Amino acid sequence: MHEGEETSEAGRPRGHELSATGVTVAYEGVDVVHDASMTLKPGEVTVLVGPNGSGKSTLLRTLARLQRPRTATLVIDGDTDGLALSPREFSRHVALLTQGRPTPSGLTVRDVVEFGRYPHRGRWGKADPGGRAAVDRALAMTGVEDLAERGAEHLSGGQLQRVWLAGCLAQETGVLLLDEPTNHLDLRYQVELLDLIRDLADDHGIAVGAVLHDLDQAAAIADRILLLDEGRVIADGDPEDVLTPERLTGTYGIHIEVDSDPLTGRLRTRAIGRHHSRSERLSTTS
């Protein structure tokens, strides 16, 4: 692949396929991800779900080369060894929105989003002809263009989350990885962000991989869901095939029912806790 080849004629990124096989990752000598494989395809949204500590973040970070695996093969578009690319080359293909990024101080929102352009700048930090337009586009797509000249330290958690996402979009990669992107967002921005993720895949052909906690949100936007349990991918496929009541109940250790939302036709899950039934509650308090 050559410099500049990643963007289409319209100046927007085109999707890349990112395939990971045999991913095993250890922390302090203990394996926490075991021989996992996943493929992100252009125009598809793949969502990783699973209980806390099941290895979702670790797997996603390994795909972004932020975590060193014990074993793994990363292949871009079927023939490029992702682990052999320079960090700068790799960053032109793959962007990751990490969790819990710090609040930048002394920088405007535009400055923060411009950081996303680093893999496209010339060797000495100059010459990025498409940079200004890419940053403006990213600010608009995430709804933070009105904040562009504001100091980033004055933003709310939700605004800052959208600014960091804008930085990833300004990177104009064909693969976008998102680790719990709806964290800190109120309901409106959660829904808007999920819509934006779907648009990125549908309209720009981007290959999206995301970790989400909310199973209903996962089912609503995913083409494909990977369910992780104790570091292993225990199911990989269409949301309806993966999110079955038996499998979810076994994996999460709580009774989970699954049905179809009559309004949207989407798959809907319900975890049944001890205080779930209103009629039961009323009968115990009366």
Contacts to ligand ADP by CB under 6 A: 27-28, 32, 50, 52-58
CB of 93 to ligand ADP, least distance (A): 22
CB of 224 to ligand ADP, least distance (A): 18
CB of 50 to ligand ADP, least distance (A): 6
Distance of CA 264 to the CA centre of its chain: 23
Closer by beta carbon to ligand ADP, 152 or else 208: 208
Question: Running DSSP on this structure, what letter comes out for residue 157?
Answer: H
CB of 219 to ligand ADP, least distance (A): 18
- What is the end-to-end Cα distance of the chain in Å, rounded? 71
Specify the DSSP element, H or E, that contains 66. Answer: none
CB of 248 to ligand ADP, least distance (A): 15
Going by their DSSP bridges, the two strands 18-27 and 30-40 should be labelled as antiparallel
Closer by beta carbon to ligand ADP, 27 or else 250: 27
Closer by beta carbon to ligand ADP, 25 or else 168: 25
For 57-101, the DSSP string reads HHHHHHHTTSS--SEEEEEETTTEETTTS-HHHHHTTEEEE-SSP
Asked if 21 and 72 count as a contact pair (C-beta separation under 8 A), the reply is yes
Alpha helical stretches, state H, 6-46: none
Asked if 6 and 174 count as a contact pair (C-beta separation under 8 A), the reply is yes
Q: How far apart are CA 67 and CA 69, in angstroms?
A: 6
Quick count: other Cβ atoms within 10 Å of Cβ 61? 21
Closer by beta carbon to ligand ADP, 52 or else 285: 52
Closer by beta carbon to ligand ADP, 37 or else 80: 37
Closer by beta carbon to ligand ADP, 127 or else 254: 254
CB of 1 to ligand ADP, least distance (A): 30
Q: How far apart are CA 132 and CA 111, in angstroms?
A: 11
